[in-house]
Amino acid sequence: MSNASLDRVHVLLGVGGGIAAYKAAELVRRLRDAGAEVRVVMTENATRFVGAVTFQALSGNPVRSSLWDESAEAAMSHIELARWADEVIIAPASADLIARLAHGFAGDLLSTLVLTTAAPVSVAPAMNQQMWAHPATQANVERLRQRKVRVLGPAAGSQACGETGEGRLLEVDELIAALVAARGPRSLDGLRVLVSAGPTYEDIDPVRFIGNRSSGKMGFAVAAAAAQAGAEVRLIAGPVSLSTPAGVERIDVRSARQMRDAVIAAAADADIFISAAAVGDYRPETTAPTKLKKSGKALALELIQNPDILAEVGQSAQPPFLVGFAAETNDLEHYARGKLERKRLDMIAANQVGEAQGFECGENALLLIWSGGSEQLALADKRVLAQSLVERIAERYRATRPVVVSA
């Protein structure tokens, strides 16, 4: 499990012009050590202090400093870059840069990004102590604070210019700690989440099988969202062609019985089991060892029922918090409530199938039901929906499970 404090967080690091820019190089390394993905944007002045190549090598990503770089803009537009960011941190932030940000200027790439992003912005000032103490700078910083920009530092001490006072960039450790603290705890920190996803295939003979139309997208999105929320995630995947979400441990299976074995083995040490797989209810009683041939007559397949994996986990002595899915073409709420009780679930996520949602598509809507409440999550991209679902699961989990304080 990656419990790194900034695990998979997209950090956009803005480097301003100032001698402290060299410390930003170390910051990139340490952000990556903490699990973050880092992209660096430098002001023109910053490039006079440290070369872009240094930041490119350390971040593993191209560095940008201009709005007018056509090839960079084609690869990832500044709007996409602003959306990509989960966090923006500007270190060092010069007096000039702070003034421009405080007044909403957008004359260069970095200030444009700050106006364009929805991500929280942190600035770490670094400048001569007189510049820092100047009422103009103090007023600008106050403006930023009022706009909920986090101001990290500066520290006091000896300065590159030979003076002593307030205006030093915070140490890299302190910057990272401040960023982590500002982000706050994630909803599934410290929890182990098991997710099943995709269809199951039940073999008829070596070339034919009974399957279903599940793409696995919803379950994979749930696994990704749970990992982003801080959980240690194990994903039991039926046959799908999807890539494994970052930080998720994946176990591939084919049939319902293989999925059952993998889930039962993993459920014992899971805190939460989210069963998003469309498990085949039936399988052929026997699988022919060689390809079945046409006989000129009708062919009858004897089907027998598969184990109900979720129900079996629900019957264990100390089941994890159980979340089931119910895909229905009709009487959605009625059937979902039945499953909630019958399978002893803590929550069920019900969706209507048959319209332009549910199977084989990128969007879905979910009706969440638990004992004592329900909530409709509106039609949305499955990745967005998965994040909302994971947040609701975290809330219900914390509301119903006692907090165990480890010794």
Check if the beta carbon of residue 108 is closer than 8 Å to that of residue 44.
Answer: yes
x/- mask, ligand C5P, residues 12-51, rule CB under 6 A, reads: ----------------------------------------
DSSP for 252-281, please give it.
E--SHHHHHHHHHHHHTT-SEEEE--B--S
Using rule CB under 6 A, residue 277 touches ligand C5P: yes
**Among 124, 326, 340, 390, interactor with ligand C5P by CB under 6 A:** 326
**Which of positions 336-375 make contact with ligand C5P (CB under 6 A)?**
339
Using rule CB under 6 A, residue 93 touches ligand C5P: no
Using rule CB under 6 A, residue 310 touches ligand C5P: yes
* Residue 308, Cβ density class (10 Å: 0-12 exposed, 13-18 middle, ≥19 buried): middle
Using rule CB under 6 A, residue 308 touches ligand C5P: yes
Using rule CB under 6 A, residue 220 touches ligand C5P: no
- Max distance between CA atoms of the chain, in angstroms, equals 97
Using rule CB under 6 A, residue 281 touches ligand C5P: yes
Check if the beta carbon of residue 376 is closer than 8 Å to that of residue 367.
Answer: yes
**Which of positions 240-259 make contact with ligand C5P (CB under 6 A)?**
256
Q: For the beta carbon of residue 85, count every other beta carbon within 10 angstroms.
A: 26
**Among 324, 351, 390, 394, interactor with ligand C5P by CB under 6 A:** 324
Going by DSSP bridges, is the β-strand pair 272-275/192-197 parallel, antiparallel, or unpaired? parallel
Question: What stretches of 235-365 show up as alpha helix (H) in DSSP?
Answer: 256-267, 309-314, 332-342
Using rule CB under 6 A, residue 114 touches ligand C5P: no
Q: How far apart are CA 211 and CA 194, in angstroms?
A: 23
* Identity of the residue, 132 or 325, whose beta carbon is nearer to ligand C5P in the bound complex: 325
Using rule CB under 6 A, residue 309 touches ligand C5P: yes
Catalytic residue among 75, 133, 139, 161: 161
* Identity of the residue, 9 or 274, whose beta carbon is nearer to ligand C5P in the bound complex: 274
Using rule CB under 6 A, residue 283 touches ligand C5P: no
**Among 25, 63, 110, 279, interactor with ligand C5P by CB under 6 A:** 279
Going by DSSP bridges, is the β-strand pair 282-284/272-275 parallel, antiparallel, or unpaired? unpaired
* Identity of the residue, 137 or 306, whose beta carbon is nearer to ligand C5P in the bound complex: 306
The tokens for 183 are 């982000």
Using rule CB under 6 A, residue 197 touches ligand C5P: no
161 is catalytic: yes
Nearest to 204 by CA among 341, 136, 303: 303
With a CB cutoff of 8 Å and minimum separation 6, the contacts of 361 are 215, 217
Interface ranges with ligand C5P (CB under 6 A): 256, 275, 277, 279, 281, 306, 308-310, 324-326, 339
**Residues tagged active-site:** 161
